[in-house]
């Protein structure tokens, strides 16, 4: 089944590929992540919170590296959150073109 624009697919237990993204404003310009902290929140029963590496702050680019136990089989909503370092928090939890929740589809391992 084809993925929807708001979905990404991974396999439980995998550590590659890293999840990479670019945060942008409504007008398409990048969000400057200089001095900010970026976290990924996956809505498991007990949410998983992963700290992202900032790849290019001025371009809004970040990356989350996986550990073998991070990806759990199922279909999960997720969000990306930035803390600007001054007490401000901003969250991206929907795909911009469809306004549907960001969804992580994790397939079970075959063997």
pTM, rounded to two decimals: 0.89
User: Greater confidence, 1 or 19?
Assistant: 19
Percent of the chain with pLDDT strictly greater than 90: 77
The secondary element (H helix, E strand) that includes residue 6 is none
- Look at residue 36 in the predicted model and tell me its pLDDT: 95
Q: What is the dihedral of CA 13, 3, 94, 41, to 10 degrees?
A: 0
DSSP designation for 24: B
Size (the chain), residues: 111
Q: May I ask the CATH class of domain 7-66+77-107?
A: mainly beta
- List CB contacts of 25: < 8 A, sequence separation 6 or more: 31
**pLDDT band for position 85 (cuts 50, 70, 90):** confident
């Amino acid at each position: 089944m084809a993925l929807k624009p708001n979905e990404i697919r991974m396999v439980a237990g995998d550590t590659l590929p890293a999840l990479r993204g670019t945060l942008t404003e409504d007008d398409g310009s990048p969000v400057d992540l200089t001095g900010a902290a970026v976290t990924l929140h996956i809505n498991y029963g007990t949410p998983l919170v992963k700290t992202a590496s900032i790849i290019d702050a001025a371009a809004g680019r970040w990356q989350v590296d996986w550990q073998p136990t991070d990806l759990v089989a199922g279909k999960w909503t997720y969000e990306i959150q930035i803390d600007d370092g001054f007490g401000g928090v901003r969250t991206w939890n929907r795909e911009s073109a469809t306004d549907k929740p960001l969804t992580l589809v994790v397939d079970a391992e075959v063997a």
